[in-house]
Structure 1
Amino acid sequence: MLSVQGICKTYGPVRALSQVSAEFRPGEVHAVLGENGAGKSTLMGVLAGFVTPDSGVAALDGRPLPFGKPFAIRELGIRMVHQHFMLVPQLTVLENLVLAQVAGGLGPVPSGQTGESARQKAKELGWEIDLDAFAGDLPVGAQQRVEILKALSGQSDVLILDEPTAVLSPDEAEELFAVLRRLKAEGRSVILIAHKLSEVMSVADRVTVLRKGVVVASCPISETSPGQLAEWMVGGLPPRGEATTSKPWGEAAAGAESVRIRDDRGALVVDGATLSVRRGEILGIGGVDGNGQVELAECLAGVRKPESGTVLRPQRTAYIPQDRQSDGLAMALSIEENLLIGGVPQGVCAGPFLLPGRVRAHAEGLVSEFQVKAGSPADPVSSLSGGNQQKVVVARTLGRQPDFVVAVNPTRGLDIKATSYVHARLKEAAARGAAVILFSTDLEELAEVADSCQFMSRGILGEQFLGEAT
């Protein structure tokens, strides 16, 4: 059993964890819930050896954990699959698996032995895997399988998964849950960080809820409900996105006609897509990841050129990319600097020079308005939780009141309250006359937010459904 007692961790004035105690038992899926910034990732970082707490103890089967030593903790049998995958895209699957076993430069690992072990484990889990494929060429679901195989190599008594379904389709999520049930049947302890309460109720045996770094509840999943979990997470019932006042849509503001797009490898990923979105309308585009949605979104936003066809967009176009860390943020810069990327607001400059006081005031206004949990706008954006990093991207994008918004999975990794807030802001943007295209793999999100929908499969964009898809 993995246990923690009295764990505390502060970052300057921010108390990330305060007297956290919990037990993670063999043969159980234990969900850890909380809003963005509640301390979930910090606690998992402590368990995996990436974060050294200020005080407290932790032990696995009575053996104290060597805090701050991830390789030593890995050897004890605690493995973690991060929300942002830790694969080297230029290496093959087999090379990534071998690399994961070279802890601290302890010498070569036989690739043949690693490959055979990986094939055997993949077969046990019901997976087919191409060890010779380059990791960067795999769809996200397959990349996650590689990460899990990395974590299961060697002794692995405790498996930590940070938001594992954030990048998965519903079918892929169900496949993952089946794997988690197999792992717990083998006697492993599975720790699951999650935001989707329906998933937690489906797969978890026990749940612990963090709020502002404090454990507010811990109980068997059979003794609670989605409503109760939501109240524990946010300290009350979460707000629902309010429907905006319906009004007639305006003229077409953006669109595409017979667009063909190739990806970075030259493969045709969008074939003859045609769409139109009007002022005041939210057009949802759904489908399983990897069917050309990202490339179409990039083309509509002006960051990828089509091979052929026509794209129409207004000058004030804003883009919320799928990968916040690679495409949405400059991770080495501060929060306030990231909020200036793509356009400096009026009044922040004197000629070519930025005015630090006004830069700070601009950032503080957006941080407050979009409820970004941060110590100071001067802090590096890399210091924020994944959900709060996404809020910075959304704040920068919607805070400029664009005429056309392209958003790709904008609530991925966000908690209940933040998701409702982003949905409300997208509706507000449409209500003031912006045209919005929302790419999402979450059908519930499309049903909640979109006025009309189209679906993509194998690069083909289907017909539009107007307010009738459920």
Structure 2
Amino acid sequence: MEYVIEMLNIRKEFPGIVANDNVTLQVKKGEIHALLGENGAGKSTLMNVLFGLYQPEQGEIRVNGSPVKITSPNIANDLGIGMVHQHFMLVDPFTVTENIILGKEPSKAGKIDLKEASEEVRKLSEQYQLSVDPYAKIADISIGMQQRVEILKTLYRGAEILIFDEPTAVLTPQEIKELIYIMKALIKEGKSIILITHKLKEIMEVCDRVTVIRKGQGIGTVNVNETNPNELASLMVGREVLFKTEKSKASPTDVVLEVRELEVKDSRGVSAVRNLDLTVRAGEIVGIAGVDGNGQSELIEALAGLRKSTTGSIKLNGKEIRNLKPRKITEAGVGHIPEDRHKHGLVLDYSVGENIVLQTYYQKPFSKAGILNSKKIFEKARTLIKSYDVRTPSEYTPARALSGGNQQKAIIGREVDRNPDLLIAAQPTRGLDVGAIEFIHKRLIEQRDAGKAVLLISFELEEIMNVSDKIAVIYEGEIVAIVDPKETTEQELGLLMAGSKRTEAGGKQHV
């Protein structure tokens, strides 16, 4: 059997950690091969070795049967390997074409020939049905389109083997469908794809084979048509995983959050949230369902004090908190798991311990008379790292070095530990594996059962249906319907999210 890519017995170490321990991956020509594992299992590290960003301590890489040494991404490109990174490597003020040709600019008489390059980008875009405008600025196009630019970047450099690193983590359901279509089109053109993911549904839908990595070790390779999501989940985490969240019936009591006639403008000065009413009670989880871009981000930022609202009222336990500073809002009893953990959740160059006290470092016992007490800070960090199963070499490790799932667990530990009356959980499981998702859902339900109010904002309909006690559907900045998760379907929610009126909704409702 000839493989296009063989990674044989790869070992990659970092200080204090073995990221890949004797891992083997063999990819056939013309297949979509999934690389499956928990957050921090070593998937991205293995692919960074293949792409020349890391050098392995031992092992051999073969491309089309020939042993190769890949010491840089340029050598990987020359060998026909391209990588679409999870966090896009694009320059916002540049056009699509300028980003694609960066580092490989065609020139005429010593000048960059943008016209010729744009024409080539247009042709590639048409060939692979990517529908990308070569002249659009990156800053002006959607996340889904930016990903297509990353794909074009690899194709422009002649990639035959494409590595996709968690490609659906930041996409809407519609964009995910389009990406799957694009991947199948690439395979028809004779390309081979390695898909790093932990989304079992996508593996079952699009992949031919799957190699599972657990805690840095290769567990094995299976044919997708001979397995199922439960078996894959068990291989990935080493135990049985419950896909359905177990929870008792909610017993809501007093109103904790009351939002009335709220208006919030986006960064362009356009009303993103308009005339919005919402109530969340102690002892319930209210899920907000909506297509990305319908005012969710602006609503969360207004509730957390990160964005000013223009009119309306936000009351917490009967007290007005609208347009207070973030610190005043957190002190009033609001916990916030932000949708962008890198931008609003962590200071990546600070240690895990320092990140865990970001909201409380100025309070006792963490400081006295303005002087920090490192002993107490790192003691607290050790406790939370243990309780929330944050996998980190130590509490002194920079947050940047942790996998996405472990960064998220650290944030959740920090926010829940402060015991807030209202916990805002925005995309709390975005980009996480089934084991971490199960863990986080349990924590949210524990908060509810402890008599706290939880506001869950998620693009994952399954998550909204599973975890919420009540679902508020947002469309164009307004709550257009309130539904009971036990009395609705994903289809009905999808229609409401697209702006269809619910016959029994009958005008504006209060939750």
Shorter-chain TM-score range: over 0.9
Report the CA distance between 1:348 and its aligned residue: 2.6
The match for 1:279 is: 282
Between the aligned partners of 1:92 and 1:259, the Cα distance in structure 2 is 37
Q: Which moved more, 1:58-67 or 1:217-226?
A: 58-67
Between the aligned partners of 1:128 and 1:461, the Cα distance in structure 2 is 33
Report the CA distance between 1:275 and its aligned residue: 1.2
The match for 1:335 is: 352
Q: Which moved more, 1:331-340 or 1:314-323?
A: 314-323
Maintained 8 Å contact 2:245/2:466: no
Structure with larger Rg: 2
The match for 2:180 is: 177
Maintained 8 Å contact 1:100/1:150: no
The C-alpha deviation readout for 1:380-426, integer Å capped at 9, x for no partner, is 11111122222222222222221111121110111111101101111
What amino acid maps onto 2:353 in structure 1?
A: E
Between the aligned partners of 2:97 and 2:270, the Cα distance in structure 1 is 24
Q: 1:260 to 1:466 in 2, by over 3 A?
A: same
Between the aligned partners of 2:210 and 2:33, the Cα distance in structure 1 is 5
Matches within 5 A, 1:95-134: 95-99=98-102, 101=104, 109-134=112-137
Maintained 8 Å contact 2:250/2:469: no
Between the aligned partners of 1:400 and 1:323, the Cα distance in structure 2 is 20
Between the aligned partners of 2:203 and 2:57, the Cα distance in structure 1 is 30
Matches within 5 A, 1:76-155: 76-99=79-102, 101=104, 109-155=112-158
Between the aligned partners of 1:47 and 1:242, the Cα distance in structure 2 is 37
Secondary structure at the counterpart of residue 218 of structure 1: strand
The match for 1:202 is: 205
The match for 1:19 is: 22
What amino acid maps onto 2:181 in structure 1?
A: A
Between the aligned partners of 2:102 and 2:474, the Cα distance in structure 1 is 36
Secondary structure at the counterpart of residue 474 of structure 2: strand
Aligned match of 2:341 in 316, 324, 341?
Answer: 324
The C-alpha deviation readout for 1:342-361, integer Å capped at 9, x for no partner, is 22364233332222222111
The C-alpha deviation readout for 1:317-373, integer Å capped at 9, x for no partner, is 111122211221111111111111122364233332222222111111111111111
Between the aligned partners of 1:464 and 1:48, the Cα distance in structure 2 is 48
* 2:488 maps to 1:469: yes
Between the aligned partners of 1:100 and 1:322, the Cα distance in structure 2 is 33
Between the aligned partners of 1:62 and 1:261, the Cα distance in structure 2 is 58
Aligned match of 1:218 in 197, 221, 224?
Answer: 221
Secondary structure at the counterpart of residue 276 of structure 1: strand
Report the CA distance between 1:54 and its aligned residue: 1.2
Between the aligned partners of 1:123 and 1:291, the Cα distance in structure 2 is 30
Q: Which moved more, 1:319-328 or 1:60-69?
A: 60-69
Between the aligned partners of 1:401 and 1:115, the Cα distance in structure 2 is 54
Between the aligned partners of 1:310 and 1:74, the Cα distance in structure 2 is 55
Between the aligned partners of 2:475 and 2:123, the Cα distance in structure 1 is 32
Q: Which moved more, 1:453-462 or 1:168-177?
A: 453-462
Between the aligned partners of 1:128 and 1:291, the Cα distance in structure 2 is 24
Question: Unaligned stretches of 5+ in structure 2?
Answer: 318-331, 490-511
Q: Which moved more, 1:202-211 or 1:381-390?
A: 381-390
Maintained 8 Å contact 2:122/2:133: no
Maintained 8 Å contact 1:255/1:300: no
Between the aligned partners of 2:290 and 2:104, the Cα distance in structure 1 is 36
What amino acid maps onto 2:235 in structure 1?
A: W
The match for 1:384 is: 402
* 2:415 maps to 1:412: no
Q: 1:11 to 1:277 in 2, by over 3 A?
A: same
Between the aligned partners of 1:302 and 1:282, the Cα distance in structure 2 is 21
Between the aligned partners of 1:388 and 1:88, the Cα distance in structure 2 is 28
The match for 2:230 is: 227
What amino acid maps onto 1:282 in structure 2?
A: I
Between the aligned partners of 2:104 and 2:270, the Cα distance in structure 1 is 33
The match for 2:478 is: 460
Between the aligned partners of 1:265 and 1:172, the Cα distance in structure 2 is 24
Q: Which moved more, 1:92-101 or 1:53-62?
A: 92-101
Q: Which moved more, 1:209-218 or 1:146-155?
A: 146-155
Between the aligned partners of 2:71 and 2:375, the Cα distance in structure 1 is 38
Between the aligned partners of 1:143 and 1:366, the Cα distance in structure 2 is 37
Between the aligned partners of 1:195 and 1:250, the Cα distance in structure 2 is 37
The C-alpha deviation readout for 1:101-130, integer Å capped at 9, x for no partner, is 459xxx865322222222222223333333
Secondary structure at the counterpart of residue 159 of structure 2: coil
The match for 2:60 is: 57
Q: 1:152 to 1:387 in 2, by over 3 A?
A: farther
Between the aligned partners of 1:120 and 1:313, the Cα distance in structure 2 is 55
Maintained 8 Å contact 2:130/2:182: no
Q: What TM-score, normalized by structure 2, do the two folds share?
A: 0.87
* 2:40 maps to 1:37: yes
Report the CA distance between 1:253 and its aligned residue: 1.1
Aligned match of 2:195 in 192, 201, 217?
Answer: 192
Secondary structure at the counterpart of residue 462 of structure 1: strand
Report the CA distance between 1:436 and its aligned residue: 1.2
Report the CA distance between 1:63 and its aligned residue: 4.4
Q: Which moved more, 1:75-84 or 1:128-137?
A: 128-137
Maintained 8 Å contact 1:98/1:109: no
The C-alpha deviation readout for 1:254-293, integer Å capped at 9, x for no partner, is 1322222222222332222221111112111112222221
The C-alpha deviation readout for 1:145-195, integer Å capped at 9, x for no partner, is 222222221211111111111112222211111111111111111011111
Maintained 8 Å contact 1:102/1:108: no
Aligned match of 1:6 in 9, 23, 29?
Answer: 9
Maintained 8 Å contact 2:335/2:420: yes
Q: 1:351 to 1:278 in 2, by over 3 A?
A: same
Between the aligned partners of 2:143 and 2:315, the Cα distance in structure 1 is 30
Q: 1:306 to 1:72 in 2, by over 3 A?
A: same
Q: 1:6 to 1:135 in 2, by over 3 A?
A: same
What amino acid maps onto 1:403 in structure 2?
A: D
